[in-house]
Structure 1
Amino acid sequence: MQISVRLTDEFIELAKENTGNNVETCGILGASFRDGTYYVTMLIIPKQEATAHSCQAVSEEEIHAILSEQSLYPAGWIHTHPSQTCFLSSIDLHTQYSYQVMLPEAVAIVIAPTDPTRNCGIFRLTDPGGMGVLRECSESGFHAHRETTDGGPIYETCSKVIFNPNLRFEIVDLRSAP
């Protein structure tokens, strides 16, 4: 998967007001597919409901309509942790599961501006380990997950993303749309 080197900075700017108010912001990554590679060419900022520790897109049909119109795949998501470290919470794991079920290459990007050791991470659920744990979990909200059957991690840092300085992408901000 290739992502523009500017995507995270542009998202940080779009999330600035929420981040300053300790409220999460989320976005959806739309990608085209050619020559065996996904290229993230769209960042959609959906209408959303958010708190200091969670963010949920609303009016998801708008997101799907845009992706469909542009013939793009839902290649993952990006969100902020305004006052937390750079990790995937239990709620984030369930969100990531829904993306990875549709597209195994899907990623979760976390922006954590106050984390002193890592302010940006790109993650995926391990497969089969993490995917198996999430497939069987019916809990919601913040909760602990069982160990994977192989004793490995539920998620890992994704090393297969290339930051491309020449890749163009479009931003569609639906938060102020009627």
Structure 2
Amino acid sequence: MASKSSRLFSTHAVTQSSPSPGISHIHTVRNDTQLSRITDVGEAHGLARSSCRESTTSTVLKDIHIPARLMEDFLELARDNTNKDVETCGVLGASLKEGTFYITTLIVPKQESTSSSCQALNEEEIFAIQYEVSDFPIGWIHTHPSQTCFMSSVDLHTQYSYQMMVPEAVAIVMAPTDKSRSYGVFRLTDPGGMSILKDCPERGFHTHREPPDGSSIYEHCTNVYINPHLRLEICDLR
């Protein structure tokens, strides 16, 4: 097996592994790395700001770097489900180096899905992989095969559980049929959205009230960057 230091960076390198690979960690960052910041494209298409705005959080968040091919490779893994109008979900793992999170792991768990929902199964397998490589559960990614790019009420509850573990946790929504926005990187506002979800006892699809501070429930992440030199390892457990 290659040493960790020799497996840190590889442009567009993707390793399919199952059930439990040796995941690479980040020890150094190339000085010449060209980063692209992910920004909100919603306003350009006239999307309502009442449900999702630019960042309004008062929390100081660490930056997150994601591999350049993460979303493209996930869509490829989800293609069969997408063609059948079925959602696909994956879990993102990251290492933390000098105050920055680097996403290096995509775990696609066994799951039960419909056209509007996706539930991971055997979550102990996910935890075992993340524990093995000391990954932080930095968020999740899922498809909306025939819906627009937004966070449903069920998505918001899932995101709440991630942000309770890691405040920087993100939700990446892939919406290949949305003509205005094919993907979004979201998080619950804090404290606004987090307080609403904390006090919400409902399950399934339902409506949420607006936060009392006038913020939206969720927002576009402004601390996420695409890094072309990050290696992504994929664990497809299905």
Same fold (TM over 0.5): yes
Give runs of aligned pairs for residues 108-147 of structure 1, distance below 5 A: 108-147=171-210
> For the residues of structure 2 that align with 1:10 and 1:93, how far apart are their CA atoms?
24
Structure 1: segments with no counterpart, 5+ residues: none
Deviation sequence 1:43-77 (CA, Å, 0-9, x none): 00000000000001000000000000011010000
- 3-state SS of 2:157 partner: helix
> 2:107: which partner in 1?
44
Query: How much has 1:140 moved relative to structure 2?
Result: 0.2
> 1:107: which partner in 2?
170
CA RMSD of aligned residues (A): 0.4
Give runs of aligned pairs for residues 1-178 of structure 1, distance below 5 A: 1-175=64-238
Query: How much has 1:79 moved relative to structure 2?
Result: 0.1
- 3-state SS of 2:162 partner: helix
> 2:29: which partner in 1?
none
Kindly indicate whether structure 1 or structure 2 has the higher relative contact order, using CA contacts under 8 Å at least 6 residues apart: 2
Normalised by the length of structure 2, the TM-score is 0.73
Query: How much has 1:149 moved relative to structure 2?
Result: 1.2
Query: How much has 1:21 moved relative to structure 2?
Result: 0.1
> For the residues of structure 2 that align with 1:36 and 1:87, how far apart are their CA atoms?
29
The structure that has the greater radius of gyration is 2
Query: How much has 1:164 moved relative to structure 2?
Result: 0.1
Normalised by the length of structure 1, the TM-score is 0.98
Q: Which amino acid aligns with 2:201?
A: S
